[in-house]
Amino acid sequence: MWYISTRGMAPRVDFEGALFSGYAPDGGLFMPEELPQLSRETLRQWSALSYPSLVKELCALFIGPELIPRDDLNDLIHQAFRRFRHNEVVHLSRLKNGLNVLELWHGVTYAFKDLSLCCTAQFLQYFLEKREKHITVVVGTSGDTGSAAIESVQGAKNVDIIVLLPKGHCTKIQELQMTTVLKENVHVFGVEGNSDELDEPIKAVFADVAFVKKHNLMSLNSINWSRILVQMAHHFFAYFRCVPSLDMDPLPPVEVVVPTGAAGNLAAGCLAQKMGLPIRLVAAVNHNDIIHRTVQRGDFSLSKTVKPTLASAMDIQVPYNMERIFWLLSGSDSQVTRALMEQFERTQSVRLPEELQSKPTPVLPGSRLCSQVPRSCPRCWADPTDSLGGLSLGEERDTLYPNAEE
């Protein structure tokens, strides 16, 4: 499996190259050169698998045995999930009227990012030990990424992690999770500004390819392909638990409501769709609604300010994984994607071209969540007249609410 940049100006790399790169050298994000198409028989076989087994199957598709032999891959993923509190790792709770909640919070830090980061850390350790290398991880956080990233690599002899924490923009619990870890390889710094503002110098650092290579830098934010890869399993697992049988033709759709910030989980869902999973994604945001405006009317532009809410991980105005979604929507057209993102970086405002807006969108515009309702309560909508983009709350099809994204 090869990976190419969404902007088309960087050499292709294998999974190991994508894992250690973060941003591509041309400023884009890595995506698979080709997406495998899953047959009905494959979906039927996967439907009986546990969550960890689904992660193993997906990773085997996108990594390849020449990089990580299957037995080694199975051991790494088993090791990654050993400290989760629920024996299923991920659990689906069934509510009334076809509503379900996918519980992604059973990891050590209670953030859904524990799932992808614990696997990513195992992949890192595997390659670093083989290559006898040391790397420094640089992470910007709006709260839960920092603590989950620290948990995944703390104490590792061949990894140092630097976390930039926006002072006053994270919860007290999140700050304590980050600042009370006393391992020598963990370095946490409080910085001025919000999470979007601290992302700017991080991206500037990674744009200096020579500096990155000299100091062996990488990122564990959701720019990293490995996180998107593991998050695809959320959508497959949820679908298989919601649909009673895969013998129906066509397969019934399941609508997945994703509270979102940087759009990593949305990008993972879009990839699962492209591979043949019949899900309908609904983006739910708070007052920081750039994704809502983009999906609803093609307005990918910054608001004047980021509005602080109780859902600090969703207080994001630069959802960098939308670049992956634009690339998928454009039919893997790197020229179109590069033009959009370079204009956004120059002007902080882009109107999606008509040819993109006219295409069937992989994401439906959901309602804006009330800014004073924690993100674990996505049924409480700020504006009851704001349509959920055709979301059905009846029994004709299942609806799934995962816990907060990004």
Active site residues: 113
Burial of 149 (0-12, 13-18, 19+ CB in 10 A): buried
Backbone region of residue 193 per phi and psi (left: phi > 0; alpha: psi in -120 to 50; beta: other values):
left
β-bridge partners, 279: 254
Buried b (16+ CB within 10 A) or exposed e, 277-301: bebbbbbbbbbbbbbbebbbebebe
Contact 373, 252 (CB under 8 A): no
CA dihedral of residues 134, 125, 222, 283 (deg, nearest 10)? -170
* Residues sharing a CB contact under 8 Å with residue 21, sequence separation 6 or more, in sequence order: 13, 30, 218
Is 191 in a helix, a strand, or coil?
strand
Give CA separation, 172 vs 175, 177, 178, in Å: 5, 9, 10
* Tokens encoding 385: 């007249």
Angle 201-206-212 from CA coordinates, rounded to 5°: 125
Element (H, E) at 326: helix 322-329
Instruction: Give the span between the Cα atoms of 185 and 159, in whole angstroms.
Output: 7
